Chain A
Amino acid sequence: MHDHRNAEQTTRRNFLSRTSGGLGTAALLNLLGEQSTTAAPSATGGVLPRPHFPARAKRVIYLHMSGGPSQIETFDPKPVLTKQHGRPLPDSIRMGQRLTTMTSTHKIRAAKSDHKFGRYGKCGHEMNVLFKNLSKVSDELCVVRSMYTEPINHDPAVTFLQTGSGVAGRPCIGSWLSYGLGSQNRDLPEFVVLLSSGGQPVLSRYWHNGFLPSKHQGVQFQSKGDPVLFLSNPKGIDQKNRGQLVTDIAALNKLRFEKIGDPEIEARIDAFQLAYRMQTSVPELMDLSKESKATLDRYGAKPGASSFANNCLLARRLVERGVQFIQLYDRGWDHHGAIATNMTRKIREVDGPCAALIADLKQRGLLDDTLVIWGGEFGRTSYSQHNRGKQYGRDHHPRCFSIWMAGGGIKPGLNYGRTDDYGYNVVENGVHVHDLQATIMHCLGIDHKRLTYRFKGRDFRLTDVHGKVVQDLLA
């Protein structure tokens, strides 16, 4: 199914195929005058009957650092900046590229990093020494220093990373995967979003289905209140009575179906049953109290808290239950001022949970087919941004930034791509955001050019009309 014209029917078909409503499928087939043997929708309800090629990863955990962490303070040390500190950035480096209006009127002076770096693991990845735990799993990581993107502001840049376009309206990666691959789980959604910390706004558009049917939208699991919107019964209705009422609703709907014969009614009965099951499965999932103390300590997670650490642990629990795409947003990485102290704080916050996640997945045999990605929407400038005499920060910089990946068919221990001595331009093996998207799809067994959706007369895809799989990154 690659056509919006049958969107309603797609939804119906996918939905039926992933729920217990075998009768619904049969009824639909009869309706269309088809023999049930001719139609065999993929077992998961995705539009792809099978992957385009063998998938190395079955699931993705995307750890998005919202705001744009500095590459110069994390994985791409630049000693030259220390020597050149305070001097104008050479024109040969700047090459007249555009700046944000926050610094376009400033004097452009090189700014050193106050942080120390070390080399870790057999592979010798360089990283900030503050990554005390992550450095211990260094050999599991593939660090890409040559990422680049196009937008220069947060909202369009995150939108670009998620949807392949900086303009709102297209489906995000998780929605594409849900559309293509369907679900591996009967009791949970296939695409889950978790947020932590205050800071940059995180817009629900970032996990929106765009023009795909809304069943492919990411479902935000909240750490406060209902984990899924409207999951809890109102005061005065317990789960047993809810089961009774859902049964009653189904009984009346069945009477209606007998009279009207619209399979949509049966799909509705199934939807209510899945909703009822989610009322049990989701709280069970979100309850960290059954995790061992050792595990909680390793992540730094505390049952009931709303933290990146908790979300990393939840990501592992979601992976165990077959959820396909888990998108974390951690906020507070937009360091226009005081980059030295801010980065110290943020690195300490995420270091432990990230390392614990990788080690935990590995120990449980899940890392091989789970792709973990860490990174922001762009990098930061190698020149300083001053805010009224305070410690300097760095402005947005789309020309280069660093990310790391682990597991799921990515080459561990690889350090890929190179930036110039100032950490301003990519000089070797650039990886555009569309290339990253194509590569993620590839790990999941999808040819990014062949998962398309007809909308407004055009076949759209995640990577627009661009993107190439970065073969060098593949294990």
Chain B
Amino acid sequence: MTATTFSLRFVPATGNRSLKITALLIVGFCMSGRASADEPTAIDFARDIRPILASKCFTCHGPDAKAREADLRLDVRQKAIAKLESDEIAIVPGKPEKSELVRRINTSDADEQMPPKKTKKTLTAAEKKLLAQWIATGADYQIHWAFKTPSRPTAPKTKDTSWPKGEIDRFVLTKLEAKKLSPSKQADQTTLIRRLSFDLRGLPPTLSEVDQFTSDKSPDAYARLVDRMLKSPHFGEKLAQDWLDLSRYGDTNGFHNDSHRDMWLYRDWLIHAFNSNMPFDRFIIDQIAGDLLPNATSAQKIASGFNRNNTFNEEGGADPDEFYVAYAVDRANTTGQVFMGLTFGCAQCHDHKYDPITQREYYRFYAYFNSIAGEVGAGGENGYHNKPLPPLLKARSPLATDAKSAKASTMVMKAMAKRKPAFFLVRGDFQQPEGKVEPGVPSIFPPLLADQPNNRLGLAHWLVRKDHPLVGRVRVNHLWKLIFGSGLVRTAGDLGVQGELPSHPQLLDWLAVEYVASGWDTKSLIRKMVLSSTYRQSSVVKNRVVASDPYNRLLSRAPRYRLSAEEIRDMALAASGLLKRNLGGPSVRPYQPATFYSDKIGKRWNQSKGADLYRRGLYTYWQRTAPYPSFIIFDAPSREICTVRRPRTNTPLQALVTLNDPVFVEAARVLGETVLRNGGTSDDDRLRYAFRRVLSRSPSPRELKTIQGVYQRQKEIYTKNRNAATQLISNGQQPAAKGLDPIELAAWTNVASVLLNLDEAITRE
């Protein structure tokens, strides 16, 4: 296919305005968007036609019955080829000249023209041609790929047989070869261990880990490194970190006064589940219906807190009926989003405009979540303080190793004794109920299992059906995103019709089928990913970027991207030696600007003391309406709703964090102390040591020369101003180490700060 039709074909999905912006963007869209790397040979409905129909026609001729015009729907073949009231037929397969659709999109009569002028949508000449060609060749419809149960594809044979280490590489290399591209060479050892350490533990490797790995010359050194990382207790923290965004975990209720809630046992349950490699089907069942399992353990009840993570409104005068609906809606939307990668919420007010989910089906799905005990309290005399009174469980942390450790409270799910009926809500309005609905799943999917009850437990078992078309794909796509920076389907929150097509559809299906067949074995799946040659490539951009793949969707190099907010904090604390690595426990309150919090919430931030100031980022108290500022600045979400993908931005406010946030200032000073103590005696040894503590690798001669200059200048500055040196080293709660020369320590503090502020320090290479 030529470049011209390529770009024109893509335009419909983004609107014709993109044409006006820049050619640059068009290329970007094409390459990253609809352009699956499969070379097209014929018109493909899903790739070529459906995007046009979806963006230009479905609003009035799609699944939404209420918005439908002329009783014509184009999303279902049977309806599209049927005779209309007007006696016309929109699509006559094989006969574009007899198809009303073709006539209407080509007419110059403003009254008849489709899409109508008022929609401000237009079809390009190439799109019109494609539609006509498609009708001429029989107007073949297919179900959207993601709604079909995947079957296990065979990994293709590649021309180069030495590079692939397994199936993943064969799928990847096949596409590269088709584009006449070659993979990058393998990254060097220090880059690999640093990458692996961030990807599997969210932490940089220690120097001794680096030394051990780089001196290990045995052929399986890398595989053994992978196994060590997978066994690390920090593996569970890394995966839990991501799941906290998905499950919208917070330590407060999220509305208005935003009061405290006890939920951290749920966070600990996640860490434990990931560390013990709990099969993902079990993981789903416990979270969706842990409370309904026969003889549910306290761990299973804690897991059911997944559905208590939604925000609550305690505001005086809040209408319980309104919020009752809002909570069930949030649970339905989150479940659809997290496990099925669908934008369920779109069907709350009308039939889904793009995906085959009707509004009635939405409310049937919602009905699994609306009959929950203890949602919002009855309210006081004046209705003030509608404190939610959900059932609390007193239990030990699943991470507790000692039966004597203290118990804590956590919110758990509990079904109402008598089921509260659910209603179809007109336009999603809780004040307009219209007829009861029974719980049920959308008809596009396989049905509920016959031997399961029609409640949350049945729903959970349905999600983990081996033939569920979405759950396996969605999870492997999330895991791919964790390991490769973005999903094979980049719109990880939307695998529906409006989502992007996978860059490697067959690879996605292969991974999904393997994953389910392995008993949903997460560690084994991740192991396959990180052992691949694809993963081990260098991330050097220079000379690798080619016009046909500017965003590296084909993976001809390893992706290079900024670390997450929490990882950036953890990196600085780990490099300095301040990081406390203990697992779990109540959330902690590290440094925060004095008035940031009280200004908004009108409460005091009770800063933690001692070791609790230096815990990993995922233990930071999550105040949802005033989230920890340095995290928000680095794109962490507020977690009021489920977040599938964090953006990665690059802003001046971020520079101010790593330069001036007390966390980073203290880390720089403590790193300075560590260097003076353990970095040898010569300046160059110390500079190399400091460099390696932050970046894992040794500096190049030019880099070394540059930091020598930094050190000398800083030493000069503080020699002239001893007072400033004393001030600089007094920053932070931990007192400066005794017996060190303040001038020397101040100079090393700033050397350390320069290193911690480097692009490379906060980047996963």
Residues of A within 8 A of B754 (CB): 245, 248-249, 252
A32 touches B (CB below 8 Å)? yes
CA distance A244 to B596 in the complex (A): 29
CB within 8 Å of B: which A68-111 residues: 98, 100-105
Digitize B730-765: 1 where CB-to-A-CB distance is under 8 Å, 0 elsewhere.
Answer: 110000000000000010001001100111100001
Q: Name B498's contact: one of A169, A275, A457 (CB within 8 Å).
A: A457
Q: Is A456 an interface residue (CB 8 A)?
A: yes
CA of A231 to CA of B758, assembled, Å: 19
Q: Is A3 interfacial (CB-CB < 8 Å)?
A: yes
Question: A32–B28 contact, CB under 8 A?
Answer: yes
> How far is it, in angstroms, between the C-alpha of A255 and the C-alpha of B602 when the chains are bound?
47
Chain B positions within 8 Å of A226 at CB level: 593
The A29-70 residues at the B interface (CB cut-off 8 A) are: 29, 31-34, 38-41, 47, 49
Which of B262-270, B646-654, B675-683 participates in binding chain A?
Answer: B646-654
B655 at the interface (CB under 8 A from A): yes
CB < 8 Å: which of B355, B541, B551 contacts A261?
A: B541
Contact between chains at A153 and B648 (CB < 8 Å): no
A271, B758: Cα distance in complex, Å: 12
Q: A229-B593, A395-B317, A457-B346 are in contact. Are A31 and B550 (CB under 8 A)?
A: yes
- Residues of the A chain whose Cβ atoms lie less than 8 Å from the Cβ of B493: 456
Q: Are B650 and A458 in contact (CB under 8 A)?
A: no
Instruction: Kindly specify which of A7-15, A116-124, A318-326, A435-443 makes contact with the partner chain.
Output: A7-15
B496 CB within 8 Å of chain A: yes
Q: Is the C-beta of A133 less than 8 angstroms from some C-beta in chain B?
A: no
Segment touching B, from A198-206, A364-372, A467-475? A198-206
In the bound complex, CA of A231 to CA of B343 (Å): 39
Contact between B21 and A47, CB atoms less than 8 A apart = yes
For B602, the chain A residues whose CB sits under 8 A away are: 198, 201
How many residue pairs link A and B with beta carbons under 8 A? The number is 317
For B546, the closest partner residue in chain A by CB is A33
A5 to chain B, nearest CB (A): 6
Asked if A256 meets B545 with Cβ closer than 8 Å, knowing A155-B313, A231-B660, A245-B754, the reply is: no
| One of A262-270, A399-407, A409-417 at the interface | A262-270
Please name all residues of chain A whose beta carbon is closer than 8 Å to the beta carbon of B25 when the two chains form the complex.
Answer: 1, 6
Question: Which one of A31, A231, A449 has the greatest number of beta carbons of chain B within 10 Å?
Answer: A31
Cα(A38)–Cα(B490), bound, Å: 27
Say if the beta carbon of A222 comes within 8 Å of chain B: yes
Find chain B residues with CB under 8 A from A238 CB.
724
CB within 8 Å for A222 and B759 given contacts A259-B542, A271-B650: no
**Which residues of chain B come closer than 8 Å to A202, judged between CB atoms?**
599-600
The answer to whether B14 touches A167, judged by C-beta atoms less than 8 angstroms apart, is: no
Min CB–CB distance A378 → chain B (angstroms):
12
A457-B496 contact given A153-B315, A153-B317, A236-B731, CB 8 Å threshold: yes
Q: Is B521 an interface residue (CB 8 A)?
A: no
Tell me, yes or no, whether A152 is within 8 Å of chain B by CB. Answer: yes
With A and B bound together, what is the CA distance between A215 and B386 in angstroms? 36
Interface size class of A (residues with CB under 8 A): 35 or more
Q: Which of B23, B346, B547, B656 contacts A228 (CB 8 A)?
A: B656
- Given A105, A242, A256, which contacts B758 in the complex, CB threshold below 8 Å? A256
A454 on interface, CB distance cutoff 8 Å: yes
Q: Is B302 an interface residue (CB 8 A)?
A: no
In the assembled complex, the CB of A311 is this many whole angstroms from the nearest CB of chain B, namely: 13
Of the residues B27, B32, B543, contact of A34 by C-beta under 8 Å: B27
Question: Which of these binds chain A: B96-104, B459-467, B632-640?
Answer: B632-640
Docked CA distance A395–B655 (Å):
45
A3, B647: Cα distance in complex, Å: 13
- Do A237 and B662 form a contact, CB below 8 Å, given A34-B24, A261-B543? no
* Given A101-B317, A155-B313, A204-B626; A231-B656 close (CB under 8 Å): yes
Contact of A39 with B24 in the complex, beta carbons under 8 Å = yes
Whether the Cβ atoms of B653 and A219 lie closer than 8 Å is: yes
Cβ-based interface call for B421 (8 A): no
Check: B76 CB closer than 8 A to any chain A CB. no
Indicate if the CB atoms of B633 and A229 lie closer than 8 Å. Answer: yes
A3 to B522, CA, bound (A): 32
CB of B600 within 8 A of CB of A236, answer no
B256 interfacial by beta-carbon distance below 8 Å? yes
Q: How far is the CB of A49 from chain B (nearest CB, A)?
A: 7
Contact B728 A271 (CB under 8 A): no
CB of A53, distance to nearest CB on chain B (Å): 15
Name A3's closest neighbour in chain B (CB-CB): B14
Chain A residues, Cβ within 8 Å of B255: 155
User: Closest 5 CB pairs between A and B?
Assistant: A236-B728, A457-B498, A261-B542, A100-B317, A33-B547
Binding site for B on A (CB under 8 A): 1-9, 11-12, 15, 29, 31-34, 38-41, 47, 49, 98, 100-105, 152-156, 167-169, 195, 198, 200-205, 208, 213-215, 217, 219, 222, 224-226, 228-238, 241-242, 244-246, 248-249, 251-253, 255-256, 259-262, 264-265, 267-269, 271-272, 274-276, 278-279, 336, 387, 395-396, 449-450, 452, 454, 456-459
30 A/B residue pairs, CB under 8 Å, sorted by A: A31-B541, A32-B24, A34-B27, A39-B22, A101-B318, A102-B384, A168-B640, A169-B641, A215-B651, A222-B596, A230-B630, A234-B728, A236-B724, A244-B713, A244-B717, A245-B659, A249-B754, A261-B543, A262-B560, A265-B759, A271-B651, A271-B652, A271-B654, A271-B655, A274-B655, A387-B382, A450-B17, A452-B15, A457-B494, A459-B15
A34-B23, A38-B24 are known contacts; what are 9 more A-B pairs with Cβ within 8 Å?
A32-B27, A101-B318, A169-B641, A205-B640, A229-B630, A230-B630, A230-B660, A252-B754, A278-B656
